Structure 1
Amino acid sequence: MDQIVRVSQYLQENAEQLIDKIVEDALKHITFELSEEQLQIARQQNIEFLRMMARSFPATDEEAAAELLDWAEKQGETNSQNMDEFSQSIEPFAQNRLVYSKHIAQVALDLEVGPAQIVRIMNRFNYLLDVAMVQSIQSFEKHQAAKLRERQNQINELSAPVVPVQDGVAILPLIGMIDYDRMTYVLNHVVPKIPKMEVDHLIIDFSGILTIDSEIAQHIFTLHNVLQLLGIHLYFTGMRPNITMAIVQGNIDFSDFHTYGSVLQALAAIEKTR
């Protein structure tokens, strides 16, 4: 145990110098560019990992992994913020393991550690490296998924703006492909904002819509009913034949819909009601 403690203390005290050598060797084998910021982040992560691993040498695998899991979760989040693809971290993984192993084994030999203790040290290193990789991947994926959801919400918001055009009149232009998520966003996030805008008449313009299916048509019917219950008069414009056909195929009663060929026609109709 005294031999393992010597290695542990040496690695903790000399982590920065050792990681500089490991990073220098590892950079010879990567096939993509790293910015200076990414390089510094990687260097700091490896220094923390080496010290953590060294502290764990006298502990059990379970005790060592407990501290590592929290650390790896944070590293996965950091990598998610600085890398678009986790493959940038995984691609050199096998070679990095060899580089790490070479330097740690050399330290143990220089400190005259016996073969059995070197095996124990290397087993601990490989165990913790695998734990760190799995946890970092899971953390990376979790934070990437959160980023994607945030971006999708931003896209939904930009693609479904409520634009006031006259006193008490606004237009909701729908653009692109309307799917379940987009329609759910409109119902849950856009509709609640409309009464606060003091809108009495809302024009929903379909001119920018590529296509919809019968399920989405049913959501449009729900949207129509919800806004009517809120006392808002609803007008549909720019509905091409394929959109109308989807509404008919959804067995939706079209007779109560106020439909016009263009926004100008709908505005003229609203003007007559005043």
Structure 2
Amino acid sequence: MTLVFNVSDYLIENAESLAVEIVEGVLHKMKLEIPEWEKEQAITMYIEFMGFLGKSLIDDKEGVPEDLIVWSKKNGEREASSGGRISEIIVRYPPTRDIFTEILTRISLEFGLSIKETAFIIKRINAMLDISLNETVFAFERLTDKIMDETQREMAELSAPIVPVKDGIAVLPLIGAIDSYRATYILEKVVPQIAELQVNHLIADFSGILTIDIEIARYLYQIENVLRLLGINTIVTGLRPELAQTVVNGGIDMSSIKTFAHVKQALESVK
């Protein structure tokens, strides 16, 4: 292993020049241009990478440098926050492996390493890059899921506004597609707001709803039951024939609920 230790010393002493070679090599191989700040970040990370690799060969300890984990997570989060695709990052890993292999093969030949010793070093590099790739994807998915949840919540808030129109009367215009998330949001967030307004009549306007399935129809019927228990009379408007058919097919009895074609008709019916 003496020759491997010599390579280890070389990697530590030449970490900066090797890091620059790696970054420049990958960019050239991919014919890719990136901002200077991003390039500097990559070089700084690979300096740490090469130094860590060199020390790990001496200590015979596996693992990855903390800077690699941080850098990988930032890459994934940056793509997610900008609305990019994770493939933009993933495609850089194969050419990165190629450049590492080329550099380590050259160094191994210079120091007279055996094929087995060279393969050992390259295997360790690939293990580190695999961890980096995983951390990048995980960070991308975590932030993407968070952004989607926030967007879904904001859309739910915007698509189910409560509009007081007269004393004791409010309109709940339902807009877009109603899914289980929005139905749950209405039940848990909107219904309490309606109760706080102390209204006697709520006009639920379905004219902005394009489609509805049986499961969601049952959910909305449950919401009407809750409002009734709170002493609030629910009136449905804008329920198109195809939507009404879905409700009927679901075995939901809406005979006790007043329905009108338009909000205006519903307002006129309330004394």
* 2:76–2:136 CA contact under 8 A, matched in 1: no
Partner residue in 1 for 2:113: 114
Q: Which runs of 4+ in 1 moved over 6 A?
A: none
SS at 1:57's partner residue?
helix
Matched, 1:235 2:249: no
Shift of 1:210: 0.6
| Structure 2 equivalent of residue 64 of structure 1 | 62
Rounded to whole Å, the distance in 2 between the matches of 1:252 and 1:222 is: 10
SS, match of residue 82 in structure 1: helix
Report the CA distance shift for 1:181/1:32 in structure 2 as closer, same or farther (over 3 A): farther
Tell me the SS of whatever aligns to 1:156: helix
Distance 1:21 1:108 in 2: 16
Q: How many residues align?
A: 266
2:74 to 78, 95, 99: 78
| CA apart distance, 1:44 | 4.3
CA distance in 2, matches of 1:40, 1:169: 62
Report the Cα distance in structure 1 between the residues aligned to 2:198 and 2:68, rounded to whole angstroms.
50
Which residue is equivalent to 1:254? 254
Retained in 1: the 8 A contact 2:76–2:138? no
Distance 1:239 1:35, change over 3 A: farther
SS in 1 for 2:185: helix
- Counterpart of 1:149 in structure 2 is 149
Partner of 1:89: 89
Distance of aligned partners of 1:268 and 1:136 in 2 relative to their CA distance in 1, 3 Å threshold: same
Structure 1 gap segments, 5+ residues each: none
In terms of mean alpha carbon deviation, does 239-248 or 141-150 score higher? Answer: 141-150
Q: What TM-score comes out, normalization by structure 2 length?
A: 0.81
Runs (5+) with no aligned partner, structure 2: none
Match of 2:266 in 1: 266
RMSD of aligned alpha carbons: 3.0
* Bigger mean CA deviation after superposition, 24-33 or 87-96: 24-33
Does residue 26 (structure 1) correspond to residue 26 (structure 2)? The answer is yes
After superposition, what is the alpha-carbon deviation per residue over 1:193-238, rounded to whole angstroms, capped at 9, x for unaligned?
3334444432221111111122221111101011222333322111
What letter matches 1:64 in structure 2?
E
Tell me the TM-score normalized by structure 1. 0.80
Amino acid at match of 2:155: I
